[in-house]
Amino acid sequence: MVAERHYVAALYDRLDAERARVQEAYDAALRGNEDTPVERDVQVRALTAQTRRLHVADNGLCFGRLDAQDGDRVYIGRIGLVDEENDYEPVLLDWRAPAARAFYVATAVSPENMRRRRRFHTRGRHVVDFTDEEFGRPDAGGRGDAALLAAVNAPRGDGMRDIVATIQSEQDEIIRLDHPGVLVIEGGPGTGKTVVALHRVAYVLYTQRERVERHGVLVVGPNPAFLNHIERVLPSLGESDVVFMTPGDLVPGMHVVAEDPAHVARLKGSLTILDVLAAAVGDRQRLPDQPLPIELSDVAVWIDEETTEWARDEARASGQPHNEARAVFVEIVTYVLAERAVARIGRGWLTRQDREAWADVRADVLAELAENDAFTAAIDELWPVLTPESLLASLYTAPERLRAAGADEALARAEGDAWTVSDVPLLDELVDLLGRDKAADRAAAASAARERKAQADYAAGVLEILRTDRQDLMDDEDHLLAQDLVETEDLADRFVEHDTRELAERASADRDWTYRHVVVDEAQELSEMDWRVLMRRCPARAFTIVGDLAQRRSEAGARSWETMLEPYVPGRWVYRPLSVNYRTPAEIMTVAAGVLAEFAPGIQPPESVRACGVQPWSRRVDEGALSAAIEEFVRTEAGRDGTSVVIGPSEVPGAVAPSATKGLEFDAVLVVEPERILDEGPRGAADLYVALTRATQRLGVVHRDPLPSALSGLTDTESPAVAESPRSP
């Protein structure tokens, strides 16, 4: 024990020394030396990322040791450390390194040439204990090892924890899978599919850092609560170039959480909506019902149907998006009107030989058309500049436009811009159908240039003030020396030439940003239209997809992975199942399996790795006692370690909807009125299955109507305290 404590303490000394070295390099990079502003920013960002990785290593820096059959030993930890004075010999192996794999997969049956696995139990920077597994013993290894059981039995906190010290063999195989395309990880509740996917991201960043880090990783989760739950995992593994979004965040500037009724979500999620969107755009490219007069100073001309039909056909044939094709439309209409105007103006006094005069007249007419309000209004009516928001909102609120686009009348609503999550992929699609408004882009670029200049001018002013006190600064050794100051010109260049925002901020603000890897959790809920958005965000088609088809609640969601993925990555996706339930104890999983058997009889529930010794209970109450039963549960759990939640129908005060708890876990769960959860939607049984499998220790059910037959395995009790028994060790 003493030797191990000394070794780990020495590792922390090396960690502190490495931090000091990186901090010194960071300070030097900030000063700039001879680097250009862009080079300086790249260096600062790289050192910032390195600093973060070193800081997260404080907690559990070294968590294990592997002893080989030949006597060699290696220590395993969150990061790698080397001995610079001894040919950079590794003194701590990063858990993602190939040589560390045996720590997770070695068993008594397949020891991987290892003799012993040692797991450290630490408090802060100190080793307090360790446990050994001797691979020569027939009962060594396996799913029930002490470190794993301690982790799964521990009270839950506010967020998901990493599993870097307790990764199991089937999980490690998925984390390290060398596949450049799409990986589908499917598993029932508690199988760790989410945390495995996040550790896979950390592994991909470790093995392909240069390729992946510049563009980052996108993690898509079902709701904000889920993202809050998982957001600490990757930073705890030293990775920060990750963007977290829900499907309602995928269009920059939008954060949508409202949902459509199931049948409307199904309509919007189907690829058939693409025809509706294209028709809605085409419907706004109009022909005049009657000729539109344009009064010029010397003559009147008309925009007629024949002219606009020619212009419309040419604009559409250009293949450009609507807003960009408008220039073709305007050019042709302008040409026709100018020719007609010039012919009328010159009739009787201009001959064919008066070429210069004809050119002057044409130039005058073109200038007058460009400034003519009636002409501008006519063009805007016939081929308006459209935004995705304006087009979709006007479509929803105008029955005649819905009919013209061939849309189902169920899409109609009173508030066109009352956006739902199902609208987001439609708005994203319209960005490509409509294209850019070049005039608006120029205005935005000019505004951004003015803002950058203002920032540079401000920086120059600050540095000028500092220069006036330069002598005082140089006389005082405790202040900055002159060479520590960034020169005005360099600082201005930094503002003007280079975007200094963090990757996550830049990526989330840019609709055209592409990621090198995308993780999609609760992927069974995504519609066909959602997948179109995500495929645009990752042209390399490198995805880790996490889901469970048995838990699908969305009418627009996936019924098979093949149907969703083959159109985008034919032959480039692989499937890996997870079968062991690390979260839900056997007592609770038995109850949940009864629900699963009724709505998905062909699906095998995951096998629980443990029992908790506490039987799930049910309690029937009358209407007046429901609130009191909920309050009793909340009061009882408040006195315990860990977390708890009440899950029930939307109208029950204090209850959380089952859909809002997907992917989350709690020590104790109270499910209220399961019979009404079953009746609340087309996938009510899936919602109840989700609700029952959130608990890691204790599950109670309170109901007013008779229990559904699928829950007959619950212990009927007058009080939850009756069902208590000590937590299993």
Write out the binding residues for ATP.
187-194
C-alpha span between 147 and 166 (Å, rounded): 7
C-alpha span between 557 and 530 (Å, rounded): 9
C-alpha span between 453 and 458 (Å, rounded): 8
DSSP 520: E
Name the percent of the chain in helix, strand, coil, to the closest 5. Answer: 50, 15, 35
Nearest to 689 by CA among 715, 717, 708, 667: 708
- Residue 125 and residue 63 in contact, taking contact as beta carbons nearer than 8 Å: no
If you write DSSP's letter for every residue of 90-121 in order, what string do you get? EEEEETTSGGGTHHHH--SSS-TTEEEEEEEE
Cα dihedral 358, 359, 364, 367, rounded to 10, equals 140
Q: Which pair of structure tokens corresponds to residue 35?
A: 């680097």
Nearest to 108 by CA among 133, 87, 82, 129: 133
Binding residues: 187-194
Burial of 413 (0-12, 13-18, 19+ CB in 10 A): middle
Nearest to 192 by CA among 607, 710, 706, 671: 607
C-alpha span between 39 and 73 (Å, rounded): 41
If you write DSSP's letter for every residue of 563-594 in order, what string do you get? HHHTTTSTT-EEEEEE-EESSS-HHHHHHHHH
Q: Which pair of structure tokens corresponds to residue 708?
A: 């559904």
Q: Which long-range contacts (CB under 8 A, 24 or more apart) does 33-41 make?
A: 36/493, 37/490, 37/491, 37/493, 37/494, 37/497, 37/498, 38/497, 38/498, 40/494, 41/494, 41/498, 41/500
- Residue 32 and residue 490 in contact, taking contact as beta carbons nearer than 8 Å: yes
C-alpha span between 338 and 319 (Å, rounded): 26
C-alpha span between 395 and 276 (Å, rounded): 10
The dihedral through the CA atoms of 612, 616, 617, 623 has a sign that is positive
DSSP 697: E
DSSP run (H or E) holding 301: strand 300-303
Q: How far apart, in Å, are the Cα atoms of 366 and each of 335, 371, 620?
A: 8, 9, 82
- HEC readout, 159-173: CCCCCCCCCCHHHHH
